Chains A and B, each alone.
Chain A
Amino acid sequence: MSYAYLFKYIIIGDTGVGKSCLLLQFTDKRFQPVHDLTIGVEFGARMITIDGKQIKLQIWDTAGQESFRSITRSYYRGAAGALLVYDITRRDTFNHLTTWLEDARQHSNSNMVIMLIGNKSDLEARRDVKKEEGEAFAREHGLIFMETSAKTAANVEEAFINTAKEIYQKIQDGVFDINNEANGIKIGPQHSPSPSLPSSSGGGAQGSGCC
């Protein structure tokens, strides 16, 4: 299937926070209460449409255990977006966000869009991390924030799509060099790299063409 852009995503966060379940909900629209644990990396892909453009998301779902960090570090390379996930019912997964963020910033390109996700929002009764705390952390570190539930699918689409919108906006703004694949963006097979993209969403978009 043809696409205008391909974005590489990486999902990171502690083990058991629901990374694979988020991916499964996004790609297959289903929830598996007991998911296999992920060893190394698993993959998902889905086509979305932003601004009338077909965008293919190539998602790398990584193992969360500390021991695997050294392996998964190499997968940051060439990612345009990262979903940093914690579990709202387990405070330690929230406390580890800083180290995850350091890792991500250090091993990815500086323009990578990072979405902070507080998952398992359906388990309100067992909540251990307030929504405001997540928001504060995101504000402090310049991330987008959302609470999701892979179980009920609440905000799952939005999390993936909003990240894509942000990346798309960065392309429109000329922040991303789309010809450099290390940025995690690939131009679709039939799509020419000279974008005379009529940006319908608010101004400020600068095409790479001359003026």
Chain B
Amino acid sequence: MCSQSGEVNNECSQLKKSNSENGVSTSEKHCDIGEENLKHNGTSSSLGALEQSGIKRVNSKELKAGLLISPLSLTQDLPISVGEDDNRLSSVLENIPTPLVYLPNTRQLVTETSKESSDSRSVSSCDVNNVVSESSQNEGSDEDTVSICDKWKLVNLHDTSSIGETDSLLRLKDPDQLTCNSFDLDGSLHRVQTGDSLLRTFNDASSLSSMSTCTDFSVSAISMGDDASDGTGMCLDTGDGNFIEVNLHTRNSFERSKNNSADSGIEDQGAKPKRRGISGFLSRGLFSRKSKEEEEDQGWKLFGRVPPKQGVAKPPQQISHEYQQRNALQNNNRPKKSDIEVMSTTALILENRPQNLPTKDPEEAERHRLQYEAMIEAAKKKEQRDLKMKKKHMQQQLKQEDQMLQLSKRWANDILPNWELTKRTKKTRDMWWQGLPTNVRGKVWKLAIGNDLNLTPELYEICACRAEDRIKQTCDSDTASVSDCSPEVSTSNREASVELIKLDISRTFPQLCIFQKGGPYHDLLHSLLGAYACYRPDVGYVQGMSFIAAVLLLNMDVADAFICFANLLNRPCQVAFFRIDEAMMKFYFQTYEEFFKENMPSLFRHFSKTNVTPDIYLIDWIFSLYSKSLPLDIACRVWDIFCRDGEEFLFRTALGILKLYEDILIHQEFILLAQFLTKLPEDISSDSLFKSIELINMNIDKKKFSQILASKKEQGKMEMT
């Protein structure tokens, strides 16, 4: 982006320079944006050509001479006065009262007298019918002033529709006449109004020229905005007021040209019959010629409807006819599918051979007919099978949704109102295990996590405010230190925490695109984490917290999320981990290993042999409460039961994961194990995971997790003393 804007500035300054070179008062001047690339030679691609641009004094004769297509009357020159104070091109352009016209052949930007155009479709106020007209979104848009420096929009269009009708254009060698170019220095979304003509745009700063030699029209847009390398969505306004969104990606001009012909034929001709303009003319002109050729050619036809054959009636054609007729009957019942079947390439087998090959003998033709029918039959069967599957899937989904609806009703109506009474009943716990319906999830979590710390939303507000102040402070000191270039570093741990929060928020669930800067949850997550760092400066911000906070935010409002977050992090296991209490972490790992040995002795031995210690994979799992390692929906289900069963469920889940993949893991060497466990498969199934978690026994000799943990702690203390 920087280099691009650099070039733009470069150009601006060049324009400015040449402007002043030409004298202070330049009257009768056409602005000429020299643009080699607009010539569509299909090869030149760099923006460097822009540098050749300058302002030339041109007279209208030259202009005329530069145009290859005739029906053009030329513009009237318009005096532009360039004073000493405002010899910037932007101001020059702003002073031009009439729209600018770009003439690609001569590569000139000219002004127009604002006579009303006779062609109502061509963009306003050109007296050059059907040639070029400046972007002129004047009606209703205030971005229409052509100002080079900030928002530089030059759109030049040929209204090809009327020229197209003559059909003569096809024979013109100069593709420029059929080209609409638009550049937009400002970026991504382009709105180009083109009267009637169809716009094909693509957004690629590196290739100004999209024009193909083999296709007959093209519109290219050159955007020198931020992400010029990516295709961006463009909004094209056709004259009819229809908006078409076209997404195009950078590609080379050869591909582009190939696609152009395909696009124009299939999409534009077929799908949008309402449109006229280029597409209309193409259907009349280009394609009529092509189809003539096709008719003459007795060769193979790969795509499309099999046309009834003329000429000598041959057995295969009859067969084809019969088949089509028979199908037509069936197709009356299923009109939608007819297209699919007839359009298929399988009918190729029924075709005549090309002329240069010997004709089919009847036996062969008959065989082909049978083969063809068999193929069709198989395809039909497959289709039916697929349909059945789809139906079944649908039904299953509906059933599931119904179940969820029932469940959520029961949660909302029966359980939540009497939480204290119902939370421990077997029925509730069983329902809980099934996973909480999303609409009650936040409420259940909130109740289950509780608020032992007695936090209030007011406290959150206070902490959030304080955090905001601090963020501002660090930002200020940041910019100050940058500008001063002082090597001073903020040594304060707190400030480092604040800095880190900023950095990490964008790295929290990046695939969801809601916590990133500009996303709806970015500020909420920022203030929640900042508030916590304020509330517990002794803990501060530790990586992993952002994931926990994010999951909470997805399920409840920010004040509740803060209260849950603080209470959750106050649990012994979380305290041990987030304060990196290595001794306590060790006890947890040891306890975990006891259960590992108990539940999967052979895998445990394999892990010991290959030196895969629990810290390698458990740290990530525990710190983020699985929200980073498991798909979010499964992670939420783990959270459900974590809320129900407490910390031991975190370790049970870990063992459940190992159990689920035990058969794979037992044969792996260290690096594969480590890689697998630190990056779990994305297609992990919720039900199978919970089935394998269910298989994990959390009792050793009737001792529970907490008891074994306590004894480990005891042991540790004894060893210490």
Please determine whether A66 and B496 come into contact, CB atoms closer than 8 angstroms: yes
Stretch of A32-40, A147-155, A156-164 contacting B (4+ beta carbons < 8 Å) = A32-40
By secondary structure, the A interface counts as mixed
A141 lies within 8 A of chain B by Cβ: no
Please determine whether A15 and B500 come into contact, CB atoms closer than 8 angstroms: yes
Residues of A within 8 A of B670 (CB): 58
Partner of A44, one of B543, B546, B675: B675
Please determine whether A15 and B675 come into contact, CB atoms closer than 8 angstroms: no
Expressed in whole angstroms, the minimum distance between the Cβ of A62 and any Cβ of chain B is 11
Q: Which residues of chain B in 674-694 are interfacial with respect to chain A, using CB atoms and an 8 Å cutoff? A: 674-675, 678-679
Please determine whether A67 and B510 come into contact, CB atoms closer than 8 angstroms: no
Expressed in whole angstroms, the minimum distance between the Cβ of A154 and any Cβ of chain B is 16
Taking CB as reference atom, which chain B residue is nearest A65? B543
Instruction: Determine the distance from Cα of A40 to Cα of B580 in the docked complex, in whole angstroms.
Output: 11
Q: Which residues of chain B in 480-508 are interfacial with respect to chain A, using CB atoms and an 8 Å cutoff? A: 482, 487, 489-490, 493, 496, 500, 503-504, 506-508
Given A68-B580, A70-B582, residue A37 in contact with residue B543 (CB < 8 A): yes
Expressed in whole angstroms, the minimum distance between the Cβ of A121 and any Cβ of chain B is 14
B328 lies within 8 A of chain A by Cβ: no
Partner of B628, one of A16, A36, A74, A128: A36
B623 lies within 8 A of chain A by Cβ: yes
Instruction: Determine the distance from Cα of A105 to Cα of B295 in the docked complex, in whole angstroms.
Output: 80
Please determine whether A36 and B674 come into contact, CB atoms closer than 8 angstroms: no
Please determine whether A37 and B678 come into contact, CB atoms closer than 8 angstroms: no
Please determine whether B678 and A68 come into contact, CB atoms closer than 8 angstroms: no
Expressed in whole angstroms, the minimum distance between the Cβ of B514 and any Cβ of chain A is 13
Instruction: Determine the distance from Cα of A67 to Cα of B546 in the docked complex, in whole angstroms.
Output: 15
Please determine whether A43 and B671 come into contact, CB atoms closer than 8 angstroms: yes
Interface size on A, residues (CB 8 A): 28
Partner of A40, one of B482, B500, B620: B620
Given A34-B510, A35-B510, A91-B487, residue A43 in contact with residue B500 (CB < 8 A): no
Given A16-B503, A35-B507, A63-B543, residue A42 in contact with residue B679 (CB < 8 A): yes
A171 lies within 8 A of chain B by Cβ: no
By secondary structure, the B interface counts as helix
Given A15-B500, A34-B510, A68-B543, residue A42 in contact with residue B678 (CB < 8 A): yes
Residues of B within 8 A of A173 (CB): none
Residues of B within 8 A of A103 (CB): none
Residues of A within 8 A of B510 (CB): 34-36
Residues of B within 8 A of A179 (CB): none
Q: Which residues of chain B in 651-676 are interfacial with respect to chain A, using CB atoms and an 8 Å cutoff? A: 670-671, 674-675
Please determine whether A95 and B671 come into contact, CB atoms closer than 8 angstroms: no
Please determine whether B678 and A125 come into contact, CB atoms closer than 8 angstroms: no
Please determine whether A39 and B507 come into contact, CB atoms closer than 8 angstroms: no
Q: Which residues of chain B in 560-583 are interfacial with respect to chain A, using CB atoms and an 8 Å cutoff? A: 580, 582
Please determine whether A70 and B616 come into contact, CB atoms closer than 8 angstroms: no
Given A34-B507, A70-B580, residue A39 in contact with residue B543 (CB < 8 A): yes
Expressed in whole angstroms, the minimum distance between the Cβ of B676 and any Cβ of chain A is 9
Residues of A within 8 A of B496 (CB): 66
Instruction: Determine the distance from Cα of A58 to Cα of B674 in the docked complex, in whole angstroms.
Output: 10
A71 lies within 8 A of chain B by Cβ: yes
Expressed in whole angstroms, the minimum distance between the Cβ of A164 and any Cβ of chain B is 16
A45 lies within 8 A of chain B by Cβ: yes
Instruction: Determine the distance from Cα of A99 to Cα of B487 in the docked complex, in whole angstroms.
Output: 16
Instruction: Determine the distance from Cα of A145 to Cα of B2 in the docked complex, in whole angstroms.
Output: 27
Please determine whether A40 and B671 come into contact, CB atoms closer than 8 angstroms: no
Expressed in whole angstroms, the minimum distance between the Cβ of B678 and any Cβ of chain A is 5
Residues of B within 8 A of A43 (CB): 671, 674-675, 678
Most A CB within 10 A of own CB, among B490, B496, B500: B500
Taking CB as reference atom, which chain A residue is nearest B496? A66
Instruction: Determine the distance from Cα of A45 to Cα of B674 in the docked complex, in whole angstroms.
Output: 11
Q: What 1/0 flags go to A113-129 for Cβ under 8 Å of B? A: 00000000000010010
Please determine whether A67 and B542 come into contact, CB atoms closer than 8 angstroms: yes
Please determine whether B500 and A39 come into contact, CB atoms closer than 8 angstroms: no
Q: Which residues of chain A in 38-84 are interfacial with respect to chain B, using CB atoms and an 8 Å cutoff? A: 38-45, 58, 63, 65-68, 70-71, 74
A177 lies within 8 A of chain B by Cβ: no
B615 lies within 8 A of chain A by Cβ: yes
B516 lies within 8 A of chain A by Cβ: yes
Taking CB as reference atom, which chain B residue is nearest A125? B2
Known: A43-B675, A67-B542. 13 other contacts (CB 8 A): A39-B620, A40-B617, A40-B619, A40-B678, A41-B619, A42-B678, A43-B674, A58-B670, A65-B500, A70-B580, A91-B487, A125-B2, A128-B482
Q: Which B residues have a C-beta under 8 Å from some C-beta of A?
A: 2, 482, 487, 489-490, 493, 496, 500, 503-504, 506-508, 510, 516, 542-544, 546, 580, 582, 615-617, 619-620, 623-624, 628, 670-671, 674-675, 678-679
Q: Which A residues have a C-beta under 8 Å from some C-beta of B?
A: 15-16, 34-45, 58, 63, 65-68, 70-71, 74, 91-92, 95, 125, 128
Per CB-CB distance, the 10 closest pairs between chain A and chain B, nearest first, are A40-B619, A34-B510, A37-B507, A43-B674, A39-B620, A43-B675, A40-B620, A65-B543, A16-B503, A39-B623
16 contacting pairs across A/B (C-beta < 8 A): A15-B504, A16-B503, A16-B507, A34-B507, A37-B507, A37-B508, A37-B543, A39-B619, A40-B623, A43-B675, A58-B671, A67-B542, A68-B580, A71-B580, A125-B2, A128-B482
